[in-house]
Copies of this chain bind each other. A is one copy, B any other.
């Protein structure tokens, strides 16, 4: 076996919903190449380290999130020969969906990590370093698609949430408003999407809302419909 010189990295599309908007965690690069530009968090895979292990380690380092219960999935691999000016670097992109918890960018080792509105970044193809705009585009599209046929929207929510909070996730990720009454009917009638948790809350104002937690479903039948 002879190996060509090659670097293997993972990059992370870390999404959350804050203030009703889809946001992505970006870092400002402190060193060349692309010094001073925004980029997705990422790093090189260590010898004998599994790809997902690398991704979880990066996630913990960048966000301070203990990472275990965070949803993390592989999106795609980017390997254009010229994608990194330092040499051949192939990057495996992962998508992480995190709830809007306190301690957002605390404990991060990247000097300047911050949450940025995803739509702003998506609208400006030149804002990110490397091919990160494409990676972000693919990651966000993956998230949007998965909300249709999986109960993954709950990954953006705390363990117990209201139907309206769940609707807020859909509206933020899809970028369009949904009818509260039809949404409520759809979610509660889709088998095993959500289960009543027992209590109620008034944290969103108005009439007290029932709390739910995620159900056992892995795919939604029938799926939620976008547009």
When the two chains form their complex, are residues A79 and B45 in contact, meaning their CB atoms are under 8 A apart? yes
Question: Chain B nearest CB: distance from A203 CB in Å?
Answer: 36
Contact digits for A38-50, partner B, Cβ 8 Å, 1 yes 0 no: 0000000111111
Q: How far is the CA of A74 from the CA of B81 in the complex (A)?
A: 17
Number of copies of this chain that the complex holds: 2
> Is A35 on the interface with B (CB-CB < 8 A)?
no
Q: Within 8 Å of chain B (Cβ to Cβ): is A125? A: no
Interface size on A, residues (CB 8 A): 26
Judging by beta carbons under 8 Å apart, are B6 and A3 in contact?
Answer: yes
Q: Which residues of B contact A3 (CB under 8 A)?
A: 5-7, 87
A4 to chain B: closest residue by CB = B47
Say which residue of B4, B48, B50, B79 sits within 8 Å of A92 (CB atoms): B79
Q: Does A110 have its Cβ within 8 Å of any Cβ on chain B? A: no
Contact partner of A77 (CB less than 8 A), chosen from B80, B81, B92, is: B92
| A5 contact set on B, CB distance < 8 A | 3
